[in-house]
Amino acid sequence: MELEQRISVLITGAGSGIGRALAVALAKKGTSISVLDIVEKNALETLEMVKQEYEKLQVEDKPSTICIRCDVAKPDEISSAFEQHIAVFKSLDICINCAGVAHTSDFIDDEQGLWRRLVDVNLNGTIECTRLEIKAMKSLGKPGCIINFASALGLYPAPCAPIYAASKAGVVMLTRSLVNLRSEGIRVNAVCPEFVDTPMGNLLPVTMIDAADGFIPMEKVNNGVLELIEDESKAGCCLWITQRHGVKYWPCSEEEQTYSDETICIFGS
């Protein structure tokens, strides 16, 4: 899908981290954007950053942006957000499901149910967003692109973070299982970065980050996503981004599978 001014984009988790960076990157392309986040203050900050990029565009008819507070673990809030987006922009061309949470606590001793919240946001929230996005795109009768944010830890076992890995593996399989929608003009892809320097990434143990040769530059993630949006041939594929091996598509070759097996050992402690 070609990025241009008439395109409208909805981004969950856009109040910080990767979601915010993508909102700014897409604003530079002139797309109209709905900024969704559970923390309204953060979403409003992103909204102002998007508006600043619009002011730099050399066009008469500036794109527009709106801010919507949304907890993706609550289906009614997701549904309301989509209704607001379509009411304002009259279209739903690109959806980026970036909202997510992470923690490395031992789920076996997790009496507070933190793991349930993780699954509700990372997996159930992504499923509900994807479901409504597909439904809306079909109803509007226009081609659409859905980008689900998973993780490199959704591609191979991660004994250090089993619930997080399970939630992201679910996102990967959801995405790959929707490849048949390309016949209806709807393309679903997943992005599986290793570790990015974000508020959520900084919650992870330093030893884990060091084992991956440090954080991935945000620019590498942005460029990968923009390329994925514009490449119509990659329906169902997962963009695998690591510091050591760059940007690759998954499923992978035998050589890359060997790397995956090695990674299990690195992140298994």
Residues with active-site annotation: 164, 168
Radius of gyration of the chain (CA): 18
Residue with tokens 């923009």: 226
As given in the structure block, the two tokens for residue 57 are 């565009």
d(CA 47, CA 68): 10
| Cα separation values, 56 from 28, 96, 267, Å | 8, 24, 43
Q: What would the 3-class secondary structure string for the chain be?
A: CCCCCCCEEEEECCCCHHHHHHHHHHHHCCCEEEEEECCHHHHHHHHHHHHHHHHHCCCCCCCCEEEEECCCCCHHHHHHHHHHHHHHHCCCCEEEECCCCCCCCCHHHCCCCHHHHHHHHHHHHHHHHHHHHHHHHHHHCCCEEEEEECCHHHCCCCCCCHHHHHHHHHHHHHHHCCHHHHHHCEEEEEEEECCECCCCHHHCCHHHHHHCCCCECHHHHHHHHHHHHHCCCCCCCEEEEECCCEEEEECCCHHHHHHHHHHHHHCCC
